[in-house]
Structure 1
Amino acid sequence: MSGQPPPLLAVRDLSKHYPLRTWWGGKGSVFRAVEGVSFDIRPGETLGLVGESGSGKSTIGRAVTMLNPPTSGTIAFEGTDLAKLDAAAMRRMRARMQTVFQDPYAALNPRMSAGDYVAEAFKLHRRAMRGSERREAVAGLFERVGLDPRFMGRYPHQFSGGQRQRICIARAIALKPSFIVADEPIAALDVSIQAQVVNLLQDLQDEMGLSYLFISHDLRMVRYLCHRVAVLWRGRIVELAEADALYADPRHPYTRRLLAAVPVPHPAEERARLAARDIADHDQPPDGPLTEVAPGHWAAMPQGPHA
C-alpha cells in the first residue's frame, strides 16, 4: 500500500499440518491446524489474533518464530525468509524476535534464579560481556519491568504470577528485539494484574518501537491494546481489519458471534445483547476467500451459487 512502510513480518499462505495415526500405529490422515494464513505486521504495530480455544492461535505464534516450523508457506522477517536460514543464522535471528508465553511459571527454570534466567540471554548472544556488565544490565531490566533488582537472586517460586511474567518480559526485551509474540500473556494472571502487564507492554512498545503479535481470547483487552485484529476460525483468518472498524462493524458471522459472547456488566444491556444474537452456535459461518469489504477491512465471503 502506498505510503506504508514495508512490513516487519510478512506471512504468506502459512499452513501447519499434523499427521494422524491409526489405532494400530499406521499412518492416517492429517490434522490441518492452520491452513492458508496470510498477514503482515508493520514496525511498531500490534496485531491482535483472536479466536476460540483450538482455533490455531498459538500454532501460528510458534510457527512465525520457527519454534514449530510450518508445513508450508513463507515467513519473511525484516525481509529475510526464515525457512532459508540454517541453525546458526536462525539462532542469531532469534535475538530480534522473542516470545512471551501464557504460563510464566512453566516458562521459568525453577532451578535458576530470576537474575540468572534473564542473564542467560546475554550468555547466549553476547558472550563478550563480562559478568559485572551482565549483572548491571539485568538490574536495569528488572527496574524497567517494575521489579526490585534486589530480587535477582530469588527463585521463581518466590514470586507472584504477575512478577513472574515481568521476569519473562525482561528476558524477552534483554536483546532489544524488534518483534515479540505475546501468546496469551495475561490469561494466567489475576484481573487486577492484567492491566499492569498490558500497560507495561504498551510502554515498552513506545520506548523500543516494538511490534507485537498479541494472541488472546480477551476481546476487550485486544481492542484496548491492538491496532489491527485478525479473527481466526478453525485455522483460517476469516476477518482482518483495524481494531475500531472491526468492533464497530464486524462483517463475518463468526466475528459477530465472538463479540456477542463478551459479557456486559449492565443487566439491561446484557439482556438486549442476548436478544440481539442472530446466529445460533450450530450455524456454519461462510469460509470463502478474504475479500476487501471496505478499505483495509477484509472478511471471508461465502462461496457457491448463493454467495
Structure 2
Amino acid sequence: MTARLSLGATPRPVISVRHLSKAYPLRVWWGGRGHVFQAVRDVSFDIAPGETLGLVGESGSGKSTIGRAVTMLNPPTAGTVAFEGTDLATLTPQAMRRMRSRIQTVFQDPYAALNPRMSVGAYVAEAFRLHRPEMAAQDRRDAVAQLFGRVGLDPVFMVRYPHQFSGGQRQRICIARAIALKPSFIVADEPIAALDVSIQAQVVNLLQDLQADLGLSYLFISHDLRMVRYLCHRVAVLWRGRIVELAESDRLYDDPRHPYTRRLLAAVPLPDPAAERARLAAAAPAPHGAGLPGDLVEVAPGHWVAAED
C-alpha cells in the first residue's frame, strides 16, 4: 500500500516517510511494568520537490510529533524517514548535522525560538557561523542583510533584540534563519497560529513566494483548515496518530470520505446561521469507540481513505 502513496511519475520525493511510529515511555512505578503511549503509528507519505503537504487534525492527534520525527529532532521509534533518498536514521551525528542545513523547521512560537540575549542579526548569522565557518564576518553581515530584505524586514533592525519586535516580525526573522542555508525542505509547525489574522495572510504569502523562488517543499502543520486549503497542494488528515484521509487539497475539501474528515471540516463556521445549522445537522457522526483507523485504501486516483473497523 505505501509504495502507491508516491506521486507516480513525479521526480524522486524530497521526503519519503514509511511506517513511521513514535511511542513515549510512561512513568514506571516501583515494582510495576513499563508502559508506553503510542503517539503516532504506521504513518506513510511522500512530499515532492516544490510541494506543500498539509497535516491537519485535532490537538493531540500527533501532528507536531510527526514534524519533529521527520526532522529527527525527536527520532521515531519505528519506520524510516528518507531525505532525497538518504535514510536519516543511518547517519552519524556529524553527517546529520551537515544534513540539517538542508532540513529546517519554523516553530509555532517565534519568541520561544529566538534567543532573548542575542540580537536578531546575530541569531540569523549563527546559521552561517556553524555551517559556513569559512565566511568572513562582513560576508555574514551582508548575507543576513539580504535575508532580512527577502522576508520583508529593514536590515537596520539587525541590531535589535526579540522583545523589540511584533509577533509577525519575529516569525519573519525565524523564516529568515530557516532559509539562510538554502534548504530543500521546511517543516512549518503551526507558524501562523500565534499571529493576528491580517499578519497570518502576510506570512503565508511570504511562504508561497519563497517556495516559488527557492523551490522549497513544506510540511505545513496547522489547525486553520481554510489556510491549509489555500496553501497546500495535498492534505493528510490525522486522527489518533494515524492518517485517515490523504488527497489533493480541493478533492479532499469538496469530497471528504472519512467521517472524521467530514466532522473536522464541519467545525469551520459559516457566516450564514441557517446554512451553518443545516450543515451541522447533515454532518456525519463523529467516529466512536476505541478502535483505531484501518489501512488506507485508494477510493479514487490519489485519494486515500482509512478503512473503518
TM-score scaled by length of structure 1: 0.96
Partner of 1:196: 202
Partner of 2:3: none
> Partner amino acid for 2:238?
L
> Partner amino acid for 1:242?
E
Contact 2:260 2:287 in 1 (8 A): no
Contact 1:254 1:285 in 2 (8 A): no
Identical pairs, percent? 79
> Partner amino acid for 2:266?
A
> Partner amino acid for 1:251?
R
Structure 2 unaligned spans of 5+: 1-6
Structure 1 unaligned spans of 5+: none
* Aligned match for 1:125, one of 110, 126, 131: 131
For residue 27 of structure 1, report the CA deviation from its aligned partner.
4.4
Looking at structure 1, the residues matched to 124 and 197 of structure 2 have their Cα atoms a distance apart, in angstroms, of 26
1:246 aligned onto 2:243: no
Looking at structure 2, the residues matched to 242 and 280 of structure 1 have their Cα atoms a distance apart, in angstroms, of 23
* Aligned match for 1:206, one of 209, 212, 215: 212
Q: Deviations over 1:96-148 (max 9, x none)?
A: 00000000000000000000000000000010100100000000000000101
For residue 67 of structure 1, report the CA deviation from its aligned partner.
0.3
Partner of 1:295: 301
For residue 261 of structure 1, report the CA deviation from its aligned partner.
0.6
Q: Deviations over 1:170-200 (max 9, x none)?
A: 0000000010000000001111110000000
Contact 2:55 2:63 in 1 (8 A): yes
Partner of 2:70: 64
* Aligned match for 2:27, one of 21, 40, 57: 21
Looking at structure 1, the residues matched to 235 and 286 of structure 2 have their Cα atoms a distance apart, in angstroms, of 23
Partner of 1:176: 182
> Partner amino acid for 1:128?
E
Contact 1:48 1:215 in 2 (8 A): yes
Looking at structure 2, the residues matched to 283 and 146 of structure 1 have their Cα atoms a distance apart, in angstroms, of 49
CA 1:172–1:278: 2 relative to 1, 3 Å: same
Partner of 1:224: 230
CA 1:141–1:98: 2 relative to 1, 3 Å: same
Contact 2:240 2:292 in 1 (8 A): no
Looking at structure 2, the residues matched to 26 and 165 of structure 1 have their Cα atoms a distance apart, in angstroms, of 45
Looking at structure 1, the residues matched to 130 and 97 of structure 2 have their Cα atoms a distance apart, in angstroms, of 9
For residue 277 of structure 1, report the CA deviation from its aligned partner.
2.1
CA 1:69–1:280: 2 relative to 1, 3 Å: closer
1:37 aligned onto 2:43: yes
Looking at structure 2, the residues matched to 214 and 271 of structure 1 have their Cα atoms a distance apart, in angstroms, of 30
For residue 20 of structure 1, report the CA deviation from its aligned partner.
1.1
Partner of 1:51: 57
Instruction: Indicate the SS of the match to 1:28.
Output: coil
1:233 aligned onto 2:239: yes
Partner of 1:164: 170
For residue 287 of structure 1, report the CA deviation from its aligned partner.
1.4
CA 1:2–1:157: 2 relative to 1, 3 Å: closer
Contact 1:139 1:149 in 2 (8 A): yes
Partner of 1:270: 276
Instruction: Indicate the SS of the match to 2:41.
Output: strand
Partner of 1:259: 265
> Partner amino acid for 1:6?
R
For residue 254 of structure 1, report the CA deviation from its aligned partner.
0.5
Contact 2:54 2:235 in 1 (8 A): yes
CA 1:250–1:173: 2 relative to 1, 3 Å: same
- The aligned length equals 303
Looking at structure 1, the residues matched to 289 and 116 of structure 2 have their Cα atoms a distance apart, in angstroms, of 46
Instruction: Indicate the SS of the match to 1:14.
Output: strand
CA 1:25–1:61: 2 relative to 1, 3 Å: farther
> Partner amino acid for 2:239?
W
Instruction: Indicate the SS of the match to 1:21.
Output: coil
Looking at structure 1, the residues matched to 136 and 200 of structure 2 have their Cα atoms a distance apart, in angstroms, of 36
